[in-house]
Amino acid sequence: MSMIITISREFGSGGRELGRRLAEALHIAYYDQEIVKELMERTGFALDYVRQAEERIPVPLLPITTARTFGIGNNSAIEQQLSIYNHESDIIKELAEKSDCVIVGRCADYVLRDMDPVRIFVYADIESKLARCREKGPDAKDMTDRELRQRINSVDKKRSRYYQFYTDNIWGDKENYDICINTSARDIKRLSLLLAELVKGIKS
Amino acid sequence: MSMIITISREFGSGGRELGRRLAEALHIAYYDQEIVKELMERTGFALDYVRQAEERIPVPLLPITTARTFGIGNNSAIEQQLSIYNHESDIIKELAEKSDCVIVGRCADYVLRDMDPVRIFVYADIESKLARCREKGPDAKDMTDRELRQRINSVDKKRSRYYQFYTDNIWGDKENYDICINTSARDIKRLSLLLAELVKGIKS
């Protein structure tokens, strides 16, 4: 049975680290930079542009299906961003077909829905997220708690809008995931080893 | 380190069975009928009355703190129900202090919040819940899918209101739990063994 794991995560919850460690523990691929690199090659866009497109939605508040129905996609900047999403989805599907893997973000739970992925959502309380950002993020050093809190909320809001735009589902709604795990005050390394066993058991 | 596990669950998700099996796998107590029995003894009420009070809220839509502020609790039927909740909370605390255990429902995650319980929320998609109700519930046999769906929604609505009334938190909101687990199309027996290992790891 194939082992495809998708991780959605709140900013500062340690979801990316958890994904990487989960892949290590399960001896399967962790795709992140490969996706960005391949995306640059296929679209010809520069790194910054591709990275921005990965988290920005072209038309606010309308799901993709609606936008297309009303012909709102007929604009070259919008078309470019939609095209980046489509290329990215293709790349994700090709990688998941090639080997067992963990993919963080990028609506991968939705893109790979026909491959029966184990869909994990990683979240934490705000205190833990502030602490983790301060520990891991070099930018956080110069920010007040209030500024950092605003940044956390703003990144999550973007993720939520991006996800809803492309999937028409609600980001973080537990119905869309198999396991939701609260990392508040937990050690990510340890938790990822435990989750690896759970995922192995579910998939065996 | 003490091992207290609380299970909140959607109706038909297999949460009760999961709780019982989790206790078995971890060789710790599973408290359910003990609570009801002790509650009957302490309050002098009959089984049916106690069972009803366990899922009914005395004053609709006002949280307990508000109801008390406005003196709405000054009514003997209401006082009786509040008193049953208070007795139940005392019993739950005493049992959890006595030994490691699993407790299903009864706002136990909130009642035992100072004892650092592992708080699990169990849920599933509607198709799985319908199937599980048909398999396990003798009442479900004579119901149409529509009736059964209504029953599932109505029980969950009651649980949600009860939880919100006594805790002022939102039932099923993942922030209130450590692990949320989707049992759709999963075997509860198998899943409970896997979760037992996860909980053991978290608590060790």
Residue A120's DSSP bridge partners are A7, A179
Interface touch B178/A182, C-beta < 8 Å: yes
Q: What is the DSSP letter of B115?
A: G
Interface touch B201/A179, C-beta < 8 Å: no
If you search the block for the tokens 């929320």, which residue do you land on? Answer: B121
Please state, in angstroms and rounded to a whole number, the distance separating the CA atoms of residues B87 and B90: 5
Q: Residue A97 — very low, low, confident or very high, per pLDDT cuts 50/70/90?
A: very high
pLDDT, tens digit (0-9, with 9 covering 90-100), for A137-147: 788 888 999 99
Taking the model in full, what pTM does it have?
Answer: 0.91
Residue A173 has pLDDT above 90, yes or no: yes
Interface of A with B in 77-136 (CB under 8 A): 121, 123, 125
Cβ distance A2 to A101 under 8 Å? no
If you search the block for the tokens 């650092």, which residue do you land on? Answer: B116
CA A36 to chain CA centroid, nearest Å: 13
Please state, in angstroms and rounded to a whole number, the distance separating the CA atoms of residues A83 and A38: 14
pLDDT of the residue at A136: 85
ipTM, interface predicted TM-score of the complex: 0.90
B37/A contact by beta carbon, under 8 A? no
**CA neighbours closer than 13 Å in the CB half-sphere of residue B73:** 12
> Minimal Cα–Cα distance from A183 to chain B, Å?
8
Cβ distance A53 to A39 under 8 Å? no
Ranges of residues in chain B with a pLDDT under 70 are 59-75
Cβ distance A179 to B179 under 8 Å? yes
CATH class as words, domain A4-192: alpha beta
Q: Beta strand A179-182 with B179-182: parallel, antiparallel or unpaired?
A: antiparallel
pLDDT, tens digit (0-9, with 9 covering 90-100), for A5-62: 999 999 999 999 999 999 999 999 999 888 989 999 998 888 888 888 877 777 654 5
Please state, in angstroms and rounded to a whole number, the distance separating the CA atoms of residues B82 and B73: 8
Please state, in angstroms and rounded to a whole number, the distance separating the CA atoms of residues A53 and A35: 13
> Minimal Cα–Cα distance from A203 to chain B, Å?
11
Of residues A3 and B47, more confidence is placed in A3
Strand ranges of the sheet holding A4-9, from the earlier edge strand across to the other edge = A29-31, A101-104, A4-9, A118-123, A179-182, B179-182, B118-123, B4-9, B101-104, B29-31
